[in-house]
Structure 1
């Protein structure tokens, strides 16, 4: 357990974390700011502050965007403090039934697949499809106002064989696809396979993978996180020597495996070592494609597309993993990049609690980001994260911003299919 008071004493209250704090930017409430969180946690540990409904509400309002950590002169781990107090919150107050059910599904992929197929069958009855997702047909408040992710009839992992051979392949990679790309935005995985085929790289789909555990982690369900982490580590230990790398097209999944797994296992030396042995083999997809293949050179031979792209930096990619140049370098080969005023600003997704119980916060942050995108006059906004895709697509629809979302892998795959006249 963290020494909250020690961290509170170390905070110099300089305020560098305040200007871009996601929750403070919309609340203006000092208690809902990094230094506010830290101070309250110190008081909680000293038994001067109870863990009640009011403090629960405050600690659950952090988006965990990690901006405060990235700018703090002392690199104080505010995000880790919040994640840890949420475990205490879950133990004291319990976890809402729908979250517990969702986390149960994440640990039981066969049941998740069955329910997904059922939902895909019934979706046309209750929802109508749009280019970016689905929206309710009937005037039910929650689904009528929200653009929800699409529900294709087949998951990405079910669409293809486990091993996909490429012609004259000299490399072989595995894919950790992530839940949103597996169940909803399957075109991301489709695009990655097209890119790998073009690069003559064999692919192993790693069909026994489970959720990385991020939704449960940000909610405080430590038991589900341990279950999912142990499964994925054990599974990939069995196959890791058969591939050159494991590619992850989702920023949150990548940060969870490359960064958070070690923090979660910090008191378990054996598990920590197992994780450290695997980490050198895992990469965000754009990072590996840029650094370890000639994809950029191939894209340079393809024609320039008549599309303008603005790029949003997912918090887990830029702030946690420092990956932001690589996707831009690849996209800019064939598209015109138009940077928004603050691409590093959080989109406001914030996790399952923020998307349900505190969606009014997520909506306000998304509104700001949607207007920022609109000001670029770009045709497409791109980000290597489908949680951002879900949030931004909904925000742009709500604000009437006529800009479409495309994952960078989709843009790259599209560019590879064109030839110069």
Structure 2
């Protein structure tokens, strides 16, 4: 079955009333002001492609790879047209026709092989100062030389000495729990690749919070990448492998935990929603993905709604000096409706000041946007850095490591001295 059979593109194109509400909020249109890369332009082109009136040539490839998949257009569309999903689908056709760049193929291969990734991450930590000028405060570094896919002016994250998954035992029992058979009040952590290897303090902080709440913690050691980087690039073979391996593994322990909590918006959205979207023509796997999704939560959402963490923070009466501004990741507020929970937890101990548009996409956009189309990511990040600067906050926070990587670089480009921390880190500090 052709992947495009999921949608009737002619019907979707006809349903687009050309109202133009999507254009002012479109991340790529705000950069290049090109109608062809506005959401309604994408939809028209995909309709033509389905009718065999558009050849999937290099020009079309460039257009379809220019979308940031921020879902702003979906949020404002009066007909709820799934522009992001149809672009994700057509990118698989692009990958089949033109292949995937060697460095992306290597990266996606590593996502399948955790032990090799662990080894390379450790080697990266040992030798990273040869390639990067490290800034430990910002958890980033500047390249000492330029490569075709890494510009010398950009700020990049660096590997930690030990990955999160290798740092802890699989089971961490609360003080009043001694037996693994006691399954009450037990949560699992899905950590995400960047928090596993780079921003490891996010996972450390989550463990501290769960210990404070006297919850049993299960850290599934065989978890693999959720598949989001490959999904947004069109490498559906890797998505198929990672999603199925994870589903089979999750099913062996999911009934033993109350929830799987994820301190990453993109990973959570991928597991919660995009696995089922991907398996649209594999009904058995789609059903299995949907069953698992009932226990998958972003960390702040589950902690705010299912524990007394908010009360603990309020009772601590510890007022932190840093002023916080909060950025809403596209995969959190727009896709999962998570935006109030992190703010409710943070404001117990911090002054939270809002930027002029917390919903504006930071411009991460995926692997392609961070490599071949880095200039687009750089342009999209500049307005976000300006907004953060206007707040005069000392820290910007978002529950997403992709946003963290992009915003840290945007602040560096704008010479704005603001630190980035996951809300989980800030909450742990307040405790």
What interval of TM-score do these two structures reach, taking the shorter chain for normalisation? Answer: over 0.9
Q: Distance in 1 between matches of 2:342 and 2:270?
A: 19
Instruction: Return the offset for 1:168.
Output: 2.2
Whether 2:131 is the aligned partner of 1:134: answer: no
SS at match of 1:372: helix
Q: Aligned partners of 1:24, 1:136: CA distance in 2, in Å?
A: 29
Give per-residue Cα distances to partners, 1:78-117, cap 9 Å, x unaligned: 0111001101000000000110110000001111111111
Deviation at 1:271, TM superposition (A): 1.0
Give the distance between the partners of 1:14 and 1:301, measured in 2 at CA: 50
State the partner residue of 2:180. none
Give the distance between the partners of 1:364 and 1:409, measured in 2 at CA. Answer: 29
Find 1:220's aligned residue among 234, 238, 241: 234
Matches of 2:39 and 2:146, distance apart in 1: 36
- Structure 1 unmatched ranges of 5 or more: 417-421
Partner residue in 1 for 2:284: 270
CA contact (8 A) 1:132 1:150 kept: no
TM-score by length of 2: 0.95
Residues 299-356 of structure 1: per-residue CA shift (max 9 Å, x gap): 0012221221100000000110011000000001100111001000000000000000
Contact 2:271 2:293 in 1 (8 A): yes
Determine which of 137, 150, 157 is the counterpart of 1:149.
Answer: 157
Maintained 8 Å contact 1:338/1:378: yes
TM-score between the two structures when normalised by the length of structure 1: 0.97
Matches within 5 A, 1:34-183: 34-130=39-135, 131-136=137-142, 138-140=144-146, 142-168=150-176, 171-183=185-197
Match of 1:306 among 318, 321, 328: 321
Per-residue deviation, 1:21? 0.5
Map of 2:308 onto structure 1: 294
Q: How many positions carry a matched residue from both structures?
A: 416
Structure 1 residues 413 and 297, CA gap change in structure 2 (3 angstroms): same
Is the contact made by 1:250 and 1:284 (CA closer than 8 Å) also made in structure 2? yes
1:409 matches 2:417 = no
Distance 1:332 1:210 in 2: 34
1:271-350 maps to which residues of 2 (within 5 A)? Answer: 271-302=285-316, 303-350=318-365
Distance 1:323 1:168 in 2: 32
Residue equivalent to 1:371: 386
Distance in 2 (alpha carbons) for counterparts of 1:271 and 1:140: 43
Q: 1:137: Cα distance to partner?
A: 5.8
Structure 2 residue matching 1:145: 3-state secondary structure:
coil
Q: 1:249 aligns with which of 249, 263, 267?
A: 263
Which consecutive segments of 4 or more residues in structure 1 shift more than 2 A? 133-144
Distance 1:161 1:33, change over 3 A: same
2:156 counterpart SS class: coil
**C-alpha distance in 2, partners of 1:139/1:181?**
26
Counterpart-to-counterpart distance in 1, 2:345 and 2:11:
44
Task: Give the RMSD, CA atoms, in angstroms.
Answer: 1.1
In structure 2, how many angstroms separate the alpha carbons of the residues matched to 1:176 and 1:135? Answer: 26
Q: For residues 164-212 of structure 1, give each alpha carbon's deviation from its aligned partner in whole angstroms, at most 9, with x where no partner exists.
A: 1111255111100000000100000000000000000111110100000
Q: Which has the larger displacement, 125-134 or 335-344?
A: 125-134
Cα deviation, residue 242, structure 1: 1.2
The yes-or-no answer on 1:359 pairing with 2:374 is: yes
Partner secondary structure for residue 128 of structure 1: strand
